[in-house]
Amino acid sequence: MAKYNFLFPLDADSRPGAVKPFREEGTDFTVPNMDVSGGAELLTNLPLKATEVYNQYGQDRLGDVLISKVRGYAFADKAGSLYVEESDDGNSWSTVKSIDVSEHALGDTGWVYLSKRYYRFRYVNGNLEQSDFALYQSLGSGEQDVRVSGGFEAPSLDIPADGLPVKALKTITSESFLEEQVIKAGESIYLNIDAAGHQLGLAIYLYEKTNLSVRMTYIIPGTSNYTLKGYEDVIVLENNDRDAQKVDLLAASLRLMLTNNGEKDVKIKNLVVTHFL
């Protein structure tokens, strides 16, 4: 990809926003070199309070030009997390890409290809109130064959007589659950999941460090809580606010139990479930 000189645009009040990390010798308007295929649109530069969340209104990819990929840039003086999410209906959202944004640093998701009709950017601030914040999006089209006609068409494959190689069958999808969910001290909450593959990735992100466990069991298909075996530990947090684990599955109908073993209530940023097909 060719390199372009890229200047982050200003807002109506002429605030430079994300160009700040590129200051040189006191000059505010430095032009960094980045691999981009176009300009960027400022979504917001309103600083967020501690643990506050910015949700972009769901964007429809269908229009005069079909948007096939998006890219997000975030700058803040306090640490946070940036998510690229997509949806078939604009109501239920799954995470396509997420990055941690360090304080006083520019976070870049890179180009993220989309497969569903709607997309949005979501930013979750950390435990400290921001003084400076800017979030931008870049949009791209082409470079990938995406066909939409009232829904997405499944690709057709010519399967050889001896079958497809294993690597050709492995894909990954992610979903986000329990956003902003509070678990009271000493209590548990439950989540049923229908796995789509033979392995499952679980990643938990909290707003503060605490003691919390994520345990898993299997349930009888079609029921909500008839378990087939006892719960087993998947993630155990001890004075920590995040962890991720990958587990092999014995069945597709799963039930998770999240238990707050700390002394005070805890709020979940989100639980990311990744299906390895």
- 117-163 confidence digits (pLDDT tens): 899 999 999 999 998 888 888 888 754 433 333 333 333 334 344 44
147 inside domain: no
Is 70 exceeded by the pLDDT of residue 11? Answer: no
Is 90 exceeded by the pLDDT of residue 63? Answer: no
Separation of first and last alpha carbons in the chain: 31
Residue that wins the pLDDT comparison between 123 and 220: 123
Is 80 exceeded by the pLDDT of residue 9? Answer: no
261 inside domain: yes
127 and 195 belong to one structural domain:
no
Q: Which residue has the tokens 């919390």?
A: 212
- Phi then psi for residue 224, to 5 deg, are -105, -25
Q: How many domains does the chain have?
A: 2
Domain that holds residue 100: 4-140
127 and 174 belong to one structural domain:
no
86 inside domain: yes
Is 60 exceeded by the pLDDT of residue 233? Answer: yes
111 and 204 belong to one structural domain:
no
Is 60 exceeded by the pLDDT of residue 171? Answer: no
- Compute the distance between CA of residue 67 and CA of residue 64 in angstroms, rounded to an integer: 9
12 and 69 belong to one structural domain:
yes
> Can you give the CATH number for the domain in which 129 is found?
2.60.120.510
What percent of the chain is predicted at pLDDT more than 70? 71
Distances (CA, A) of 61 to 70, 113, 228: 10, 12, 42
Can you give the pLDDT at residue 264?
Answer: 92
64 inside domain: yes
Question: What is the pTM assigned to this prediction?
Answer: 0.44
b/e burial code for range 187-206 (CB count within 10 A of at least 16 → b): ebeebebebbbeebebbbbb
Closest to 250 (Cα-Cα) out of 194, 211, 198: 198
Please say whether the dihedral angle defined by the alpha carbons of residues 229, 235, 239 and 242, taken in this order, is positive or negative: negative
